Amino acid sequence: MLAANTVKGVSARRCTKSITRRRQTTTTAAKKGDVVSAAATADAPVVKGPIIIDGQVAHSTTELGLEVFRDLGDFASGELTGLLKPVESSWQPQDYLPDPESDSFLDEVRELRERSQCLPDDYLVTIVGDMITEEALPTYMAMLNTLDGVSDETGASGTPWATWTRAWTAEENRHGDLLNKYLWLTGRVDMRQVEVTIQNLIGSGMDPKTENNPYLGFVYTSFQERATRVSHGNTARHAKIHGDATLARICGIIAADEARHENAYSRIVEEILKRDPNGGVVAFADMMRKQIVMPAHLMNDMKHEELNGGSNLFADFSIVAEKTETYTAFDYADIMEHLVKRWEISSVTGLNADGLEAQEYVCKLPARIRKIAEKTAVRKAKAAKANPKDLKFSWIHERTVSV
Ligand SMILES: [Fe+2]
Ligand SMILES: [Fe+2]
């Protein structure tokens, strides 16, 4: 996916109190390039961290956190793995594409190309951005394998966590493949520019600020999978409105996968909350304070700035996603609210002072974000009316989208 990663005004204090406290021993001398370990201090309440790498907190997982994940082994090999779909019953991209072995292949391609003529440029920008995000899958697998206690230590490890990560990646891999092939066949987008963007994005990685901490990592993935589900669900709906029913079906089946993955990651957080309510609520608040960065936030097509007076490609893609209502600041607030409800944060008990503070913070946050989003939407609508902006995207042969 995706877009619209921030709601201005809610930026936020960097960390929760407890994490701040743990970090106090580490941050004084930390600067880019330093690796400083708090574990070396006498009273550090953690086993192997946190440490600071390139100015960022890393390995903030506590001893209790590692114990929680050891305890979750049966859950991971049972229920979690059960949420994957066997390959035999999985859809494959070819199921939704013209069959190159068939005599009717060229006719099917012609029909596809005719059908896609109905897709407007702003739609093409959002679906290309979503496809590019899916295509940076190596980055997301790498991110999961940075998490303490759940990473794939060998590349073919038999632990349930490593098995999950590889199978999840394999399911996700179909998303980028299908969207990429479909868009290539339409002839509506500049595929070379799209490919340049994908190569740059994978080369740049992402910075989700999850600190190698599986608590933070799985809060992040729960949020992200739901955001992706929302975005693909909307591109499905819009494709249908524009008149491309096949593309609508494609976006719909991808959205259904995202929903299943969202459920899986949310279940992990539910299990964390059962075992370590304090740590779980504090981790949720920490990710919300830092804001969920979108996986493609480092995208670069090497042309956009030049075409648009220095404007950032991801920021402009986000504007188009907002304008087309594919993914908006209101969706961000809705996702947060959904997770607060799903994880029953308001009724978590047994919290210490940090946990209580985090609980209050996350429970109030969706309303606060929605309020800011409303004000921002009014301001943006006025600005767009008074001074409409034309954004040029290399992905659509440098045609403009008015926002
Ligand atoms: Fe996906
Ligand atoms: Fe996903």
What does the pLDDT look like over 269-328, one tens digit per residue?
Answer: 999 999 999 999 999 999 999 999 999 999 999 999 999 999 999 999 999 999 999 999
Confidence of residue 125 (pLDDT cuts 50, 70, 90): very high
Q: Which of 27, 81, 91, 169 is catalytic?
A: 91
Query: What distance in angstroms lies between residue 231's CA and the mean position of ligand 1's atoms?
Result: 10
What's the confidence (pLDDT) of residue 384?
Answer: 84
Query: What distance in angstroms lies between residue 210's CA and the mean position of ligand 1's atoms?
Result: 20
Query: What distance in angstroms lies between residue 261's CA and the mean position of ligand 1's atoms?
Result: 9
Across the beta sheet with 35-37, what order do the strands follow? Answer: 35-37, 51-53, 56-58
Say how far apart CA 11 and CA 27 lie, in whole Å. Answer: 20
pTM: 0.89
121 part of the active site: no
Residue 305 marked in a binding site = no
Query: What distance in angstroms lies between residue 131's CA and the mean position of ligand 1's atoms?
Result: 9
Question: Which ligand has its closest atom nearest to the C-alpha of 168?
Answer: 2
What does the pLDDT look like over 22-40, one tens digit per residue?
Answer: 443 333 334 444 444 443 3
Residue 211 marked in a binding site = no
Type of residue found at 38: A
Query: What distance in angstroms lies between residue 359's CA and the mean position of ligand 1's atoms?
Result: 30
Q: Which of 122, 130, 172, 316 is catalytic?
A: 172
Say if residue 96's pLDDT is above 60.
yes
Confidence of residue 16 (pLDDT cuts 50, 70, 90): very low
Query: What distance in angstroms lies between residue 27's CA and the mean position of ligand 1's atoms?
Result: 36
257 part of the active site: yes
Share of residues in the chain with pLDDT > 70 (%): 88
Say if residue 62's pLDDT is above 60.
yes
> 298 with 370: CB under 8 angstroms?
no
What does the pLDDT look like over 39-52, one tens digit per residue?
Answer: 333 443 444 568 88
228 part of the active site: yes
Residue 261 marked in a binding site = yes
Buried b (16+ CB within 10 A) or exposed e, 371-391: ebbeeeeeeeeeeeeeeeeeb
91 part of the active site: yes
Confidence of residue 372 (pLDDT cuts 50, 70, 90): very high
What does the pLDDT look like over 212-243, one tens digit per residue?
Answer: 999 999 999 999 999 999 999 999 999 999 99
Q: 291 — alpha (psi -120 to 50), left (phi > 0) or beta? A: left
What does the pLDDT look like over 314-368, one tens digit per residue?
Answer: 999 999 999 999 999 999 999 999 999 999 999 999 999 999 999 999 999 999 9
258 part of the active site: yes
* Token couple for 95: 């199921």
What's the confidence (pLDDT) of residue 52?
Answer: 84
Question: Which ligand has its closest atom nearest to the C-alpha of 179?
Answer: 1
* Token couple for 341: 């409800």
398 part of the active site: no
Residue 175 marked in a binding site = yes
261 part of the active site: yes
Question: Which ligand has its closest atom nearest to the C-alpha of 173?
Answer: 1
Contacts of 77 (CB under 8 A, 6+ apart): 160, 163
325 part of the active site: no
Confidence of residue 388 (pLDDT cuts 50, 70, 90): confident
Q: Which of 258, 271, 331, 354 is catalytic?
A: 258
Say how far apart CA 317 and CA 321 lie, in whole Å. Answer: 6
Say if residue 4's pLDDT is above 70.
no
Say if residue 188's pLDDT is above 80.
yes
Say how far apart CA 256 and CA 24 lie, in whole Å. Answer: 43
343 part of the active site: no
Between 119 and 18, name the one with better pLDDT: 119
Query: Nearest-5° angle of CA 87, CA 91, CA 92?
Result: 90
What's the confidence (pLDDT) of residue 24?
Answer: 38
Sketch the domain layout of the chain as residue ranges. 67-397
What's the confidence (pLDDT) of residue 32?
Answer: 43
Class of the CATH-defined domain 67-397? mainly alpha
The 3-state DSSP class for residue 400 equals strand
What's the confidence (pLDDT) of residue 238?
Answer: 98
Query: What distance in angstroms lies between residue 255's CA and the mean position of ligand 1's atoms?
Result: 8
Say how far apart CA 110 and CA 104 lie, in whole Å. Answer: 10
> 181 with 97: CB under 8 angstroms?
yes
